[in-house]
């Protein structure tokens, strides 16, 4: 999995801690964790394209969450960065085996493909059951000072 | 995910349908689905290293299942081919954020890392709950002729 997923999730969390309506530039979001700004910007653009972030251009431009943290699941973020393809990509090798047919979509009929698909669904279900708000709560319960420290740190970058 | 996972699972299934004690060469297992033999051989060696297959050298050499199909889970096969690493590899970017520390293992403490880990566990649990015997049953229920056809096809390659 792309390192961008880790960057994207942490950046969404940082944006969840900014004041409502406030935007943060890609440069600041990258500097927060000493990440390469150009590459993080690509991930942020992917999040914007997926409707997770809103991007404003101009001198006071930057990124903010496009919806409430409760309404952004980890699956939304992972899919925005990694794409919707499954990790197991059935190449339909049964097509070349005995009785194989070119007109069958083996992703739908092959026992191997379906078992792998079922496993990925379990992963996606778990990602879909967790939101940015959940992560935010976990962090704030353990470290109540983090929201304020994040805002201060972003302001001073 | 490596295409070798698909090849390995289908090859395990084909070996589950051979007569007890019979071995099948990498060349035949590859020819079954028109796969590149040298590359499939690498996957078969990885399965042998993981204790899923037994490999015999010599003129009548080849591969067979090292244990009963009931005792080979999809997780065993995926791990043998893909390695034990998680797809989400926490790079610990928090180390470079405010309050970040070099002596903390963020895989164990970071909310993002733990949420991603929890999701992968759901995937692994599902893979571990399915065995080669389960796949075999699914195929045989839908297509009772497959075991015999597989043996005949392998014998004629």
Assign B24 to helix, strand or coil: strand
CA of A112 vs chain B CAs: smallest distance (Å): 7
The pLDDT of A30-47, averaged and rounded, is 96
Please name the residue that has the structure tokens 């778990």: A126
User: What is the rounded average pLDDT of the residues B81-86?
Assistant: 93
Residue of B nearest to A145 (CA): B99
CA trace torsion B91, B115, B118, A70 (10° rounding) = -150
Is A97's CB within 8 Å of B138's CB? no
CB A30 within 8 A of CB A40: yes
- Lookup result for tokens 């909310």: B111
Give A21's pLDDT tier (boundaries 50, 70, 90).
confident
CB A81 within 8 A of CB A6: no
Confidence of residue B151 (pLDDT cuts 50, 70, 90): very high
| pTM of structure | 0.91
Interface of B with A in 20-39 (CB under 8 A): 32-35
Q: What angle do CA A5, A7, A12 make, to 5 degrees?
A: 95
Q: How far apart are CA B69 and CA B66, in angstroms?
A: 9
Look up the ipTM and state it.
Answer: 0.93
Query: What is the per-residue DSSP string for A71-104?
Result: G-BHHHHHHHHH-S--SS----GGGGSTT--TT-
Q: What integer pLDDT is reported at residue B46 of this predicted model?
A: 97
Angle at B5 between CA A74 and CA A115, to 5 degrees: 65
A53-105 confidence digits (pLDDT tens): 999 887 677 999 999 999 999 999 999 999 999 999 999 999 999 999 999 99
Q: How many CB atoms lie within 10 A of CB B20?
A: 6
Q: Which helix (H) or strand (E) holds B55?
A: strand B53-56
């Amino acid at each position: 999995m792309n390192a961008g997923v880790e960057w994207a999730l942490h950046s969404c969390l940082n944006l969840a801690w900014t004041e409502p309506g406030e935007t943060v530039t890609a440069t600041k979001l990258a500097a927060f964790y000493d990440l390469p700004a150009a590459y993080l910007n690509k991930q942020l653009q992917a999040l914007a394209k997926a409707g997770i972030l809103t991007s404003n251009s101009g001198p006071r431009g930057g990124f903010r969450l496009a919806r409430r943290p409760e309404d952004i699941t980890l699956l939304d973020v992972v899919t925005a960065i990694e794409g919707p393809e499954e990790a197991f990509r059935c190449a339909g090798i049964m097509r070349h085996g005995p009785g194989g047919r070119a007109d069958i979509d083996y992703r739908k009929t092959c026992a191997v493909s379906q078992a792998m698909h079922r496993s990925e669904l379990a992963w996606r279900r778990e990602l879909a059951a967790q939101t940015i708000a959940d992560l935010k709560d976990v962090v704030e319960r353990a470290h109540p000072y983090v929201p304020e420290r994040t805002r201060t740190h972003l302001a001073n970058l």
